[in-house]
Structure 1
Amino acid sequence: MSVNGKPKFAMYWAASCGGCEIAVLNIHEKILDVDANFEVVFWPVAMDAKYKDVEAMPDEAITLTLFNGGIRNTENEAMAHLMRRKSKILVAFGSCACAGCIPGLANLSTREQIFEAVYEGVSTDNPTGIRPDFQWAAPEGNLHIPEFYPVLKTLDQVVAVDYYMPGCPPESHQIGAVVDLVIQALQGKATLPPTGSVIGAGTSTVCDECPRIRNVKTIQHFTRIQQLAAIDPNLCLLEQGIPCNGPATRSGCGALCPRAGAQCIGCYGSSDGTLDFGARLMTAFASVIEGKEPAEIERVLDTLPDPVGQFYRFSLAHSMLRAAPVVLEEEEQYATHHH
């Protein structure tokens, strides 16, 4: 507890975009409940606080930490270990922390390929070819820059996580529900779910929340939604040949995208009982293909515009694949050199 008797709250971002912070603000007036029931002690995007402030706290001094973002460099990992040590409850908040999300797709490329694209690409004005250096001699002293890892890891690949809250970003009403649950638990009016549980989401799939009609129609090819002249507003998008990830994606968002006429892209991650999101989705797609011979299934799947982005857009870093073979080899060499 803090000096005012309130439990402490923290939020930290690692390799992420900042959307998770905006989602927390989007709980609107419920943010006042956070202020009334917690002392916010560390939230870099919203307040001035230093790492040394957290380091000075006793272990487990922070009651609840929402940690968003993947682990892409040495600073991200150091902060993951620090926040784990200082927090009673550590939540992997958002799809980047839970499964890698969009930054995890960089696991298809080596560090050199990433740096080449960023610092030497045609859209980059860098005539001297400057690249990041992990140490820099400045007039004030030596600066140490975080080292970029060969692969992006999820939060639970570096520290133990108490709960997972998926979404890119998590839906505001789900955040509000979790805030209420934690407050009630602290007041002895509710019980927190078992460690390792997914919170702020459902247990079934987006299809179960979707009002569109499924007629078990079969398709002969997939088509980008923007290439269709018209879309049936009532029929299942997948049965119209639009690659929708609803059959494999965890419920909880309210099927926002399909309701708006756009396909689910899978940001809420795997539904319960799914070992690998991409494998589960491939099975779902195969079930609506007209032909059942392997060659015909392969032909139809080949019409997908972006197979890797379709099946692993939000989960590559946490999948059975995890990264391209050449990247995994680079990671092994890095680990050997640094240990």
Structure 2
Amino acid sequence: MSSLIIYGATGYVGRLVARLAVDRGLRPVLAGRDANRLAALGLDAPVRTAALDQPRALDRLLADAAVLLNAAGPFARTQQPLLDACVRTGTPYLDLSGEAAEFLTVWRRDAELTAAGVMAMPGVGFGVVPTDAVAVHLARRLPTARRLELSFATVGRVSRGTLDTLTGGMADAGVQRRDGRLVPARAAAEHRWIGDGATRTRVVTNPWRADVVSAARSTGVADVATFFAAPAPIRLALRAAPAAPWLVTSPAARRVRAALLARLPDGPTPAQLDAGRTLVHGLVRDDAGTAAEAVLTGPDAYRYSAHTAVELLARTAAGDAPPGYRTPAEVHGPQIALTTPGTTLRDLR
């Protein structure tokens, strides 16, 4: 029988995905490097181990796999060996990454993936399922769209891994898409006000967001700009970091950050997940000045990620896996974002 593999099931989001998959009756295989930690999850699911630096072990892991979900961050380190194994074994690949660099790496392998008959779909969680859905929805409403702006805001606690990624990359340059090309951009360089029809939220440039890659693939829009809501202290730090990168990148800074992060809980509690919520805003314009605008609202980002990842695991295992680099809404349409309970999508204009 073909199996559904969740690699990295012991991480914070990996645990949420694994438990939901078991609750849905999918009976996934829980995979990673440490059999004891996998068994300690206490889930009614088989456990297998394979290290990322052991290609033969990865190939054995995937020998009977219908799909692999990579939930093990950092994806800059885990994506390549797992995707390589999927190409060798003909296994569809999903992951929970949300950074432009990882998406661009997959897109550059599109011809190789297509030739191998393997689908690769990064970003099957909050980054980028809801934003990709909003992008495709708006592009269908305004086929002449030339510019797309995508923003998100979250209310709720963040996991240790999310905070590590954000703080560790503050000094890094990112990109936005202009005239079909990726151009350098800095965090918080621009700001916008977005709304849901009742309230307004300030958002700033997010130059690492994967939508500059995924939305270009799924919509073909030439200009894509990405934004996110951040507290004032974070906005100030984002603007200051490029001028003093040593504050983030020096060995001393890394040690301090690691020590501080180690004191934090792994992620939100169930009660905090219940209280969290998300908002995704999209705006498209064409050269004639015509615009379309929509907003998607949903539950906590981590809970959202678990639901969409499990939904896409099930759909991919069932055969919805066209080869090549693919995005969630490209394959499944904007409705994929609405499969998470408590999610709505509506047009503002």
Question: Do they fold alike, i.e. is TM over 0.5?
Answer: no
TM-score by length of 2: 0.33
| Greater strand proportion | 2
TM-score by length of 1: 0.34
Higher RCO, 1 or 2 (CA under 8 Å, sep at least 6)?
2
